[in-house]
Amino acid sequence: MTGTRAAGKKAQDSISPLDIVSARQLAETGMPDLREALTQLLPSLTIPTGGFDTGAMTDSFSLRGLSPNETLVLVDGKRRHTTANLYANGGPQQGSTPVDIDMIPMAAIDHVEILRDGASAQYGSDAVAGVVNIILKNQDHGFHAQSLSGITAAGDGFEQGIYLDGGAALGSRGYIHVSGDFIHQDHTFRSAPDLRTGTKVNQLLGQPEQTRESVSVKSGYHITEDIEAYATATYAHRYAESYQNYRTADSLNGYPGYQAMYPWGYSPLETLNENDWEVTAGLRGTFRKWRWDLSTVYGRDYDDIGLRQSANLQLEKDTGRTPSKFDVQGFNNQQWTSAFDLSRAFHLRNWPHAINVAGGAAYRFESFAIGTGSPDSTYGSGAQALAGTTAGNAGKFYRDVVSGYLDVETHLTKNLQIDLAGRYEHYTDAGNTETGKAALRYDPWKWLGFRATISNGFHAPTLAQEFYSSVSLSPTAARGLIGPNSPGALANGSSRLKPERSTNVTGGIILEPIKKLHITADIYQINLRDQILPGGNISGTQAISALQTNGFTLPPEAPSWAASSVSTNWFANVASTRTQGLDITASYPTRIPNLGQINWDAAININRTRLSHMGTNAAGQPLLSAQGVAYITSAYPRSKMIWGGRFTSPDGKWAVGLHEIRWGQTISQLTYYTGATNSGALSNTDFLHFRNTPKFVTNLDITYRVMPQLSFTLGGNNIFDARPSRVPDGNRYLGVPQYYMSTSQLGMNGGFYYLKANITL
């Protein structure tokens, strides 16, 4: 069980808050992938409203209103590698390179364990907000197939998912389980009319189109009665396309080649061709009552980013060639972790309770590589929408991580248990860290328990945050994100990134006031210091100079744009925050004679983050604008509530699920694009205080089991088609993005209706 090293403990006895989500619960949500399914079930978990550029094509999630980088993801208890695709656009996810859990086949998942507590001392860095442990199926028999087809209320965004898995025995000593997913989703289109044309020709706002194939193989074999060899492999391929801002036909005046190619203008498409795989192999067993586990995990994510329907105007002007496709960026992330873990329950003569002692050591190699774009993509100011990476901003970067931990768990009395853990980690680039955790649980009666934990955490800057650089080009603006150690950033006051450090405190109660009514309530506080986000925003000639120093060439017309139309920043330790919150869960089954049973459930998360310290640059200026402060303090919902129930008929043929989700408000500071403000449009100091009001979402599904092996489900998520609050006209770039994407509240797609079929053999 996640959160303890002792064998045989049950989730209901956990010292730390723990959610267990089964494969059946995931399937009942009707969502096509793991991330969206968990969002329907867990109030403390949120996903972005949407995304722009390449960041829209990698799936991320957040726990307790903190960055995706602050959640550690495990697969069968082993650290999972992260994506190579950094989210570079503004918002609460900016700078994150999370584990993309949707690259793991849904069909392979047995259950998911979500530890809502700091656990860096137990599992290593990144476990600041919590730990998500994905447990894969290991059945040695059976076959299961599922088909899911769905479409949005607007009639777009068609999705098709096919999920297959089955197991077989390897003689009498082993098993193998193979799983695979195929998922395709079409674009959705949520843009408002473009001010330049008065039409919806600009398709910027909407979900990307993507096709994803994934497969996993898990196996184990007992070499002897006490030694098991095990192995797991996952592979996923994704191809995705994301629309960029429309370029008018007038912008091609003077470029005859592109005028002939795009007589009505064009909308560049950023593309992602991604290959993600991970292999785990190990031996585990027992020796003289010691449980031991020797393992190695190698994971790699490679992202080839390109452009379609684009142009390099300078290239056409100088050479007469008119390419429309470009290879612009390549990112490669690798992690190789080898670990040895030991644990044993000791029974001392003068101590009536077992003392479980666990410890281990691990070595991890990490690398991050940035590839150059093709010559056509970097020529002059580069390809429209996204310039290719130049040689000066490419490279390969490495680091080593060594760690060791000790964990002791026992009962002080029959009803009082304690867990103490400590860990040491050394990063060759970020230095040393020591983390610890102390946890207590007291159960005075069977129906009442109390628990509390205190710990500190650690998150080292990622290699991507240290070295990533790029420039995104809009029709009338350019935005850069450059490495903090690059010449352009150093010349403007950048400094070396420090690790993020945290202190976590939680306290909770477990209550069963009447039989089968199970209630938990936990309060928490997370103090996060030296949080890493882009800071040091500069614009105008200062930004142009910094970008040119780093080898980027801007369009010839850039100096004539408004001063704030060209901007850049870099990653920095921008601020310290305090996050406080409350989690409550409740479940209760009701049996209705002769009609069936209803399983009721309710859960709520209340969460608030405040700024406790603002970082400054060398000149004493704050590193964050009011907009940046809003990204980390109010872009996540103030609360999220989920309540409802599932009815099952006595013969099991019918099942009906009905749940309501209330998303709390988010507060954003919006840029002005048109209209008069105190400082003018595109101001870096004057923003609109925008409230995205609370939203209610209703989910309904009806299942009919034709026979024990076959069932059909008709359902809808957000059946009344709720949408985010609309952004005022003056705060939309070119008038297009009518919903604000840089939050983690309700998604912009609206209602989703689906038909699902399940076959189990």
Surface-to-core class of residue 268, CB atoms within 10 Å of its CB (0-12 exposed, 13-18 middle, 19+ buried): buried
Percent of the chain at pLDDT above 90?
78
Pairing between β-strand 477-482 and β-strand 566-592 as defined by DSSP bridges: parallel
- What is the SS3 assignment for 247? strand
Chain Cα centroid distance, residue 376: 33
> Which helix H or strand E contains 476, and what residues bound it?
none
Single out the residue of 248, 216, 209, 251 nearest to residue 231, CA to CA. 216
The CA distances from residue 248 to 245, 261, 315, 321, 529, in Å, are 10, 13, 19, 20, 46
Residues 123 and 131: beta-carbon distance below 8 Å:
yes
Show the DSSP H helices in 226-379 as ranges.
256-261, 313-319, 375-378
Pairing between β-strand 130-136 and β-strand 71-75 as defined by DSSP bridges: parallel
Single out the residue of 447, 415, 589, 587 nearest to residue 511, CA to CA. 447
Q: What is the pTM of this model?
A: 0.94
Single out the residue of 129, 136, 137, 134 nearest to residue 17, CA to CA. 129
Write out residues in the chain with pLDDT < 70, as ranges.
Answer: 562, 675-680
From CA 655, how far away is CA 706, in angstroms rounded?
12
Output the pLDDT for position 679.
45
Residues 82 and 70: beta-carbon distance below 8 Å:
no
Edge-first strand order for the sheet with 109-115 is: 18-22, 109-115, 130-136, 71-75, 78-79
Residues in CB range of 733: below 8 A, 6 or more apart: 245, 474, 477, 671, 673
Instruction: Count how many residues are written for the chain.
Output: 761
Three-point CA angle 423, 95, 369, nearest 5°: 85
Cα dihedral: 669, 671, 677, 678 (round 10): 60
Structure tokens at 299: 């994971």
Residues 234 and 105: beta-carbon distance below 8 Å:
yes
The CA distances from residue 557 to 474, 475, 476, 544, 562, in Å, are 12, 11, 9, 12, 11
How many C-beta atoms surround the C-beta of residue 591 within 10 A? Answer: 10
Chain Cα centroid distance, residue 110: 20
First to last CA, the chain: 29
Tell me which DSSP letter residue 93 carries. Answer: T
Show the DSSP H helices in 500-600 as ranges.
540-549
- What is the SS3 assignment for 484? coil
Three-point CA angle 472, 478, 480, nearest 5°: 60
Output the pLDDT for position 680.
57
From CA 408, how far away is CA 397, in angstroms rounded?
37
Structure tokens at 224: 């002897």
Q: Could you tell me the domains of the chain?
A: 11-760 (2.40.170.20)
Single out the residue of 561, 565, 410, 379 nearest to residue 472, CA to CA. 565
Which residue type sits at 291?
A: R
Surface-to-core class of residue 352, CB atoms within 10 Å of its CB (0-12 exposed, 13-18 middle, 19+ buried): exposed
Single out the residue of 98, 86, 81 nearest to residue 47, CA to CA. 98
From CA 683, how far away is CA 677, in angstroms rounded?
8
From CA 260, how far away is CA 279, in angstroms rounded?
49
From CA 563, how far away is CA 728, in angstroms rounded?
23
Residues 232 and 296: beta-carbon distance below 8 Å:
no
Structure tokens at 244: 């960029």
Output the pLDDT for position 316.
93
Output the pLDDT for position 430.
87
Structure tokens at 698: 């209703």
Structure tokens at 262: 């795009």
Residues 328 and 374: beta-carbon distance below 8 Å:
yes
- What is the SS3 assignment for 426? strand
Which residue type sits at 251?
A: S
Residues 507 and 449: beta-carbon distance below 8 Å:
no
